[in-house]
Every structure is written in C-alpha cells, then in structure tokens.
Amino acid sequence: MAWVTYGVPIIVEQMGEAGYDAVLIDSQHGLGHHADLVNCLTAARAARLPALVRPLTPDAGLIGAALDAGAQGVVSPLVENVGDVEACVRAGSYPPRGARSWGPYRGRFLIDGDYLEQANDWVINCVQIETRGAMDNLDDILKVDGLDMVLVGPNDLALALTGARDIRKPEVVEACNEILKETQEHSVIAAIFANDIDYAKPLIAAGWDVISVGTDMGLLGGAAADVVKALKG
C-alpha cells in the first residue's frame, strides 16, 4: 500500500502506475487541506486504487468527511481503548450500526447500485495500534463489532513502549508479533508501516496482510540523495 503525504493527485496516479495495490492518503502527518484530499481521492479512482484516509484525529466529523469524499476506509490514529474504537466504528457506519450522517457526494460514485444499502459492508473501519493504552487493551479492541482492520505504527509504538524511536528493539518486535497473532485469531486485517525494505521483507514472511514501505516524501528524498551521492561521489 502506497503512503501519500504530499497531498498531490499526480503522485497518487504515479503510485498506481508503479503497481501498488492501494493507497493511504495521510492527513495527520501530511500536507494539504480537504480540497487536496478530494483531488487525491479522485486521482485514486482514476488509478483504480482503493483509497484509505488517515484523518488528523479520530474525530467523527473528519471520519465522515473522508468517507463522503470517496475514501473506502479510514485509519483512525491515537486510539487508546474500546470506547475510542467503538466511536470510530460508529462514525464510519450508517444507522443502525453507527451514526454517520448522510451526504456521500463522491463516495456514492464508487459503488454500483444503492450506496446506503452497501456502504456499511464496503467501508473499512481501521484504527492504529500505536500507544501503550492500545496495546494494554488490544484483545478487547479486536473484539469490537464492525472493526475491520488495524494498522500498526512501529515508530510511535516504539516511542510509547521504550521512549526511543528504535523499531527493532525487542519490546517493539514482541508487541508487533503479538498484534499479528491476535488479529489472526480475531479475523481482523493486519496492516503495518515499514520504514524500509529490510524491515518489510520479514513482515511478508510473517503473514501481515497489508504493508506500507516508507512514504512518498521519503521515497523522493531518498532517490534525490542517491542521485546527488552518485554524481558527487
């Protein structure tokens, strides 16, 4: 899954051209405003990429806005407990399951037939596991009805568990392994962010369902640095 932070539509299209299976548009640690998000979601549809959005906060209004704009799912950050996750699922679901308000001005273009009838099954409700609270409540979180997917943020998880951003520390590796094990037991999709290829390869072998390697910002910066280094020695 491509991770897009710049908020530029053509980058989304380039990720589709590169062969990615899906895209996450990052509004938490990314650039751009709501209009940029809409443009990126339009580009995702053109590139035939299922698109998830990570909002700034797990706010019901932001979750609904992303879905109305055409996201297939929302990755809610900074959840701590069952109540937080239940609130995210309610925000991403129409009644009677949830409390999402009606107004899918772009979302309705992405489903054949009646959007309202299909949206609750089509939308992916996802939360991030990146805090000590989320780890402490992991088993109960994964039991929340309507939760489809969790995404592990190893960098923030490392900070939360160890106070340092070392994603290879034993405590962090153990936590990630525990998350994968429990998601498999609860039939929840397991996604994870990887800083680089070397970190990602063992994740594939371990059985993670969705893996993102770096961001558009990191890929561009790394490629530019490689060119400069090659030319300057």
Domain limits, the chain? 2-232
Task: Express each pLDDT in 78-121 by its tens digit.
Answer: 999 999 999 999 999 999 999 999 999 999 999 999 999 999 99
Q: What is the pTM of this model?
A: 0.96
Question: How would residue 233 be classed by pLDDT, with cut points 50, 70 and 90?
Answer: confident
Does the pLDDT at position 22 exceed 80? yes
The reported pLDDT for the residue numbered 135 is 98
Query: What is the DSSP-derived secondary structure letter of residue 142?
Result: H
Residue with tokens 């299909």: 118
The reported pLDDT for the residue numbered 133 is 97
Neighbouring residues of 10: CB distance < 8 A, sequence distance ≥ 6: 43
Q: Whole-angstrom Cα distance, residue 4 to residue 193?
A: 12
Q: Whole-angstrom Cα distance, residue 37 to residue 22?
A: 15
Given CA atoms 56, 33, 6, 15 in this order, what sign does their dihedral have?
positive
Q: Is 186 a known active-site residue?
A: no
Task: Express each pLDDT in 69-84 by its tens digit.
Answer: 999 999 999 999 999 9
40 token code pair = 């990126």
Query: What class, spelled out in words, does domain 2-232 have in CATH?
Result: alpha beta
Q: Whole-angstrom Cα distance, residue 129 to residue 106?
A: 29
Query: What is the DSSP-derived secondary structure letter of residue 109?
Result: G
Of the residues 29, 33, 34, 186, which is catalytic?
Answer: 29
